[in-house]
Amino acid sequence: MMTLTITDETFTGKVLHKISLNFEKELVTIEQIITQRVIKEVADYNTKLPEYFNGLIVPTHAEKSLNGYKMKDRKAIDAEKQVYIALDAFQKNGFFVLVDNHQAETLKEEVLLTSLTQLSFVKLTPLVGG
C-alpha cells in the first residue's frame, strides 16, 4: 500500500488544499490518480454533507466563498459524473497534473509512486460539475 499526498497549488506554488490517497500498486496512471481523488472527495462530502465542499470539481449547485464552495442544497453528489467531468477537464487543459515538477501529458501516462513522489494539481479555472 502506497500513500500519496496530493496538493492543489496556484501558479506561484501556493498550496491551497491537500488530500492523501492510498494506492494498492506503485505503478498507476494519471487517470487512476484523478479518478481516485475525485471519488474520495465526493465520498468524504457525501458521508457528512457539510455546508462547504472543497475538491477538484465544484458541484454546479455551489457558490464560491472564503471558506470554499458553499453548497446551496446539502445533497449527495454523483461521483461518477464528477469523475467524468474531471477526466474531460484534464484532457481540455482545465488543470495540470505535475509529477515531481513534470507536467503529465495524457491520462494513460504512468507514474511510479515512491515515498518521495510529489504530485500537484494546478487549476486554471474553477471546474464546475454535477
Domain ranges of the chain: 2-129
| pLDDT at residue 127 is higher than 70 | no
Put the strands of the sheet holding 68-71 in their side by side order.
52-53, 68-71, 62-65
| pLDDT at residue 43 is higher than 90 | yes
2 CB neighbour count, 10 Å cutoff: 16
Q: Look-up: residue for cell 475525485?
A: 38
* pLDDT band, residue 128 (cuts 50/70/90): low
* pLDDT band, residue 97 (cuts 50/70/90): very high
Residue 56, CA atoms < 13 Å, CB-side half-sphere: 33
* pLDDT band, residue 129 (cuts 50/70/90): low
Distance CA 63, CA 122 (A): 20
Q: What does pLDDT average to over the chain?
A: 88
Q: Look-up: residue for cell 474531471?
A: 86
Average pLDDT of the segment spanning 23-43: 96
**58 or 85, higher pLDDT:** 85
| pLDDT at residue 77 is higher than 80 | yes
* H-helix segments, the chain: 30-48, 79-91
Average pLDDT of the segment spanning 42-63: 85
Q: Write down the pLDDT at residue 130.
A: 52
Percent of the chain with pLDDT over 90: 59
Asked if 106 and 88 touch (Cβ cutoff 8 Å), the reply is no
| pLDDT at residue 88 is higher than 80 | yes
Q: Write down the pLDDT at residue 1.
A: 85
Q: Which residues contact 72 (CB under 8 A, 6 or more apart)?
A: 61, 62, 63
